[in-house]
Amino acid sequence: MPGNETTELSRARRRGFFNIGEAAAASGVSARMIRHYERIGLIPPANRTFGNYRIYSDNDVHTLRFIGRARKLGFSVEQIELLLSLWQDRNRSSAEAKRLALEHVAELEAKIRELQGMRDALKTLADRCHGDDRPDCPILEDLADASR
């Protein structure tokens, strides 16, 4: 029967479908993440061959590219779900997408400030540490201070 499964996948490819590895390569989203997005409902369940192989259309790959780009921009799964619904609704206005993008920009700016504060604190601690054979270490003392 393995030959039948290979033949079935070959027919699906000729009809323009991709197996999960090909869809991953074409979209830039790993096969593991494709299965995860399917499991959590971000994308609909893949069509299946009789041999139970997942197959994906060009439209599915385009959607996966959309998701991959949104993830690279740091959008959460919940935000991507909303962005996908906006993208798929050709009667929508752009106002909601802009609002989501600007909200995300504000979240990123807050995270940047938080990371810069962490960097500055660690740099200060590292500057105060002699880094020699002595046991005194401001870094470890700061980490051990439960009042912070």
Model pLDDT, residue 3? 54
Task: State which amino acid sits at residue 103.
Answer: E
**R_g of the chain, CA atoms, integer Å:** 24
Distance (Å, whole) CA 4 – CA 1: 5
Residue 1: per-residue pLDDT: 44
Q: Which DSSP letter does residue 47 get?
A: E
pLDDT given at position 148: 67
Which pTM was predicted?
A: 0.80
Question: Half-sphere exposure of residue 145, counting CA atoms within 13 Å on the CB side?
Answer: 8
Tens of pLDDT, residue by residue, the chain (148 residues): 445 556 776 777 777 789 999 999 999 999 999 999 999 999 999 999 888 889 999 999 999 999 999 999 999 999 999 999 999 999 999 999 999 999 999 999 999 999 999 999 999 999 999 989 888 999 999 999 877 6
DSSP 8-state secondary structure symbol assigned to residue 65? H
